[in-house]
Each structure stands twice: as C-alpha cells, then as structure tokens.
Structure 1
Amino acid sequence: MAGDRDEDELAALLEKLSLSSASNTDLAFQLQLAETIQACPESSDAALALALHDADLARTELDRRHAWAYHARSAASIRVTAHDALFARDLAATAGPTTATASSAPWRRRTRRGRSRRPAR
C-alpha cells in the first residue's frame, strides 16, 4: 500500500508539473503574441476602412474640382456665345439690307440658269 501511495503522489506531482509547464508555455505564447501585435502596424478592418475612406474622399474632392473647372469653362463659353448672338443681331439691325433683299436688288438680273449677275457698265 505504501508503494501505491508513493506512485499516486508521484503521478500527482508529475501532473502538477506538466500543468505548470503547459501554463508557462501558454503564458510565453501569449506574451509573444502581444508583443507581435504591438509591433505590427494596424491592419485591422477599421484601419483598412479608414484608408479606403480617405482615398475615396480625395477622389471625390478631385472630381469636385474638375466639375467646378468644367462648369466655369461652360459658363464662359455660354457668355461668349450670348455676346456673339447679341452682337450679330445689333450688326444686322444697323448694317442695311439682308442677303435676301440684296439678291432681289433692282440692279441684279437673272440669267437663264437662275444665277444672278451684275449688269455690265
């Protein structure tokens, strides 16, 4: 019986030692994992989402600037076109006879082919 008791104590001591060794190994692993996580740059989903948001925001700002420049060019083109139309209307009002009335001027006479020519002097 004493031999059984010694064997039981030895088995309990070995089990306690193996648990302690496993606990030390687990503790060492946890410490190494924590050090590795602290040393690595953030690569979590939140960091990736923030980086993508920053890139999207920069792209949106660039698109806004391009749209504003396009709008400014379009507005300038419309102003020039409107000015040209007003100028042409004023010029037509002060220039005299139009092309239609000029072609039917009394000094023009029609040829047989329908073309007009100026009479000889």
Structure 2
Amino acid sequence: MVLLQLDPFLNELTSMFERSTEKGSVWVTLKRSSLKSKVQRNKLKTDGETIEYRCLIRATDGKKTISTSVGAKDHQRFQASYATILKAHMTALKKRERKDKKKTAGAKKKRKVQRNTV
C-alpha cells in the first residue's frame, strides 16, 4: 500500500476507474484515523494532549492499492474533486426515462376493452 499526497491520489484513482470501465471494480474505503499506533495514542491521552484525527482513504482495484490521508483543512477541496471523479466514471448508473403512469394505465384499459369487444 502506497500513501500518496492528495493530487497524486486523485490522479491514480482516476486511472483506476478508467482501467476498470470494461471489467472489474474499484473499492474505496474511508475511515477515521490518527495515523499513530495504539501505544502512542494512549501516551497522548495520559499526557492530556489532544489527538488530531484525519480521514484515511484507501482505494483498490484488486491489483493495486493506494491510500491518502486528508486533514480537516483539505477535506472540502478533496470532497469536491472526489465527487467530480465519481460523477465522471459512474456512467452505468444513468437514470432511465420515466413513463407516465396515467398514460400506461390508460393504454392497458384500451387494450382490455379492445380484446373484450373482439
């Protein structure tokens, strides 16, 4: 697993999505982390210091795993970029056209009436 800066992470995530368009999937996991071991966190707690938590983001396509850490200052910029990438690469989830329920119900009634008269 490679810990990248924000921009290289987003670039690599984009290339992962592009590689998996025909076949495969990309898994993205977000979790809260202080990036410190449990022993270090316990020391900070006993000393009375506050622990700065960050968001650890991991992405994998099964072959390659990348990760980054986002702080509170950068989360809005990251969120906007991440949303843009997701919108651009989720083409399979396009919205279907909705059929008007009244028109379809009326058409069914007409078919029943025509069948009964024939």
**Larger relative contact order (C-alpha < 8 A, sep ≥ 6)?**
2
Please state which band the TM-score falls in when normalised by the shorter chain: under 0.3
Higher fraction of strand: 2
From the two aligned structures, give the one with the greater helix fraction: 1
Question: When the two structures are superposed, what TM-score results if normalisation uses the length of structure 2?
Answer: 0.24
- Between structure 1 and structure 2, the one with the greater Rg is 1
